A and B are shown apart, each in its own frame.
Chain A
């Protein structure tokens, strides 16, 4: 975990002071609504349906137990006792008062947290794999690079007023759990023939109104040039990205219009000036940052496969949970555990102040006092000893975190939707709940197997519906809420965008629609085929026919 030095701390304290004064001037009428809007957005503050929504940055999803307790305190003191994990690994509060925001920021700053650039047309929070640093398939630990990029993005003077928001994701493993191909910039490590580290650079991916899988424009960027290259990309985008139409302002539209090759040439032309400049990264800086992410003090343990299998036989519930909610760890004797924030009946990604405190406590007792958030809106304890796994499971059951559904149909990615968000066309949380209720039988759920079901309440696509194996999009039809279904999206390596099934459905039809889709899959699948595999083999038509068949 990166620990601030006096410089990092001063920057966020300066920000608190600045935002306190901006809020004061706004409330005093010295700043107009229009002038204040971009300022508050760049501090994560939306004006929502009922109250402002504050989005607190969780840089690349890393939290300490101390920070988590502060998040609990803020939920308790300034909100209605709960918080929400967003699809960009951040934490959102739905009920703070505008007047309290400076005080909330001051409290966050005491635990090295902030809300800088969590919204607005600027460089956003950098995201990565929630299993960074512990995954067995890791090439490099992406977190030092995330932190280096985070510092570069923070108050970058040239790129504070971009045409549109800008999201960077960094992957460090052979599988892509960071969905880098649907980001404005995606980075992943690669080694050249000489064994030197570099990055493959993708630009122009994104969801929203015009979903696009990005294009790789550089197959080997030496690590020393990383920040200069980001400067070059952003400079081209800042100058030539469209500003006349906000729906055509993302970098993906520019890259498409120019073609990725021409865009790459423009970046290279900038690089000709920037390469070798002072922004060239140094060994010393990478080392300074990387030493914050060294392994915790792991014990010399061995894997407990047979012991755990014995426990499986004794406790079928434990066995089920272990299959879904744990992931192999790079260290023998350890395991990474995902806490499900998707029990039926709770808004996906929501947790109460008491649960936050409980999670902090569990992190201290089981996982070196650290935890992570995931873009699937769950929480991860990354370094759990296998010999403590059963005890942890018992505690997670008490806390409501042990729903064994990670990666299954009910582990729904879902935006806050029309219940909270003023951009939404339709509610999303009740749809998630009605589907969770329909698929509440665990045997059935396990039999269906891995399935990403993503719900967005509008085409801004915060719920990532384009990359769900099943995607659901809320649409407004003459003032009524309807839901469009798409199939075949994927956010992993070789990402793909879902295809629309057909005309949209009323809210109460949705559980039936999903059930029909699942029935087609169950009937047509071959052994070991996931939903997405069957879909890719048989295409959309059998699904379409079943769902739109006249009722007999």
Chain B
């Protein structure tokens, strides 16, 4: 079972992350699912009616605006990084948190490595599915990489110049 960094701790994964080509018939009523955006587009009503937990995931070329006024439906929103160098979802994360006030779990999935965790956390991610070949215990340390930050971001509403 994959282990996830969540709120600075390592926990066992309980959610099922569904691939892009999943169909509604493949879902059970009670499991917790993170569904691809396309399934949500087509079956929002049916997905909301289920008893299990509901999350959605966006790829790096999908836009936060599309689910902006619907974020209250999700316990988890996962944002995929096809490569750790693809930075688009840093912006999606900030929009979901800062503009659309998403309060649930915001999870980074895909090519997630420890050296990006500090930035990801600043942009509002509170859960990280570290790439399977890497040790999440070690990765946890990188959340402490910096003790000072200049900019306002999701984790710190004031820029340093309003704090110094």
Contacts and interface: CB of A to CB of B under 8 A. Distances in A.
A157 B148 CA distance: 12
Interface stretch (A50-58, A148-156, A475-483): A148-156
Interface in B131-164: 145-153, 157-162, 164
10 closest residue pairs by CB, A with B: A161-B87, A157-B122, A285-B161, A157-B119, A151-B150, A158-B90, A14-B146, A278-B152, A10-B148, A7-B148
A11 B146 contact: yes
Interface string A132-153: 0000000000000000000110
A38 interface: yes
Contact of A243 (B86, B116, B162): B86
A238 interface: yes
Interface in B68-86: 84-86
A10 B161 contact: no
Contact of B150 (A11, A159, A160, A277): A11
A7 B161 CA distance: 11
A488 to B, nearest CB: 37
B147 A155 contact: no
Contact of A279 (B123, B151, B164): B151
B113 to A, nearest CB: 6
Contacts of A152: 150-151, 159
A510 to B, nearest CB: 39
B122 A18 contact: no
A158 B152 contact: no
B94 interface: yes
Contact of A159 (B85, B87, B116): B87
B118 interface: yes
A157 B118 contact: yes
B150 A239 contact: no
24 contacts: A5-B164, A7-B164, A10-B148, A11-B150, A14-B146, A121-B85, A152-B151, A157-B119, A157-B151, A158-B87, A158-B94, A158-B119, A158-B122, A158-B153, A159-B87, A160-B90, A235-B91, A238-B87, A239-B63, A243-B88, A278-B152, A279-B151, A279-B152, A284-B161
A35 interface: yes
Contact of B85 (A156, A157, A161, A278): A161
A519 interface: no
Interface of B: 63, 84-88, 90-92, 94, 99, 113, 115-116, 118-120, 122-123, 145-153, 157-162, 164
Nearest to B61: A243
Contact of B87 (A15, A160, A279): A160
Contacts of B123: 157-158
Interface residues of A, number: 38
B137 to A, nearest CB: 13
B161 A273 contact: no
Nearest to A6: B148
B9 to A, nearest CB: 22
Contacts of B152: 277-279
A277 B120 CA distance: 21
Interface of A: 5, 7, 10-11, 14-15, 18, 22, 31, 35, 38-39, 121, 151-152, 154-162, 227, 235, 238-239, 243, 273, 277-279, 281-282, 284-285, 288
A239 B66 CA distance: 14
B159 A35 contact: no
Contacts of B63: 239
A161 B86 contact: yes
Given A7-B160, A35-B113, A158-B153, A238 B148 contact: no
Contact of A39 (B94, B115, B120, B150): B115
A96 B160 CA distance: 34
Contacts of B86: 161, 243
Most central of A31, A157, A277, A285 by chain B CB within 10 Å: A157
A291 to B, nearest CB: 14
A273 B87 contact: no
Contacts of A39: 115
Given A22-B115, A155-B146, A279 B90 contact: no
Nearest to B99: A273
Contacts of A156: 150-151
Contacts of A285: 161-162
Given A38-B85, A278-B157, A282-B162, A159 B90 contact: yes
A11 B148 CA distance: 6
Contacts of B151: 152, 155-157, 279
Contacts of A160: 87, 90, 116, 119
Contacts of B91: 158, 235, 238-239
Nearest to B157: A278
Contacts of B94: 158, 235
Contact of A238 (B90, B115, B146): B90
Nearest to B81: A161
B35 to A, nearest CB: 23
Contacts of B90: 157-161, 238
B150 A278 contact: no
A158 B161 CA distance: 18
Contacts of A235: 91, 94
A155 to B, nearest CB: 7
Nearest to B94: A158
A15 B115 CA distance: 12
Contacts of A7: 148, 160, 164
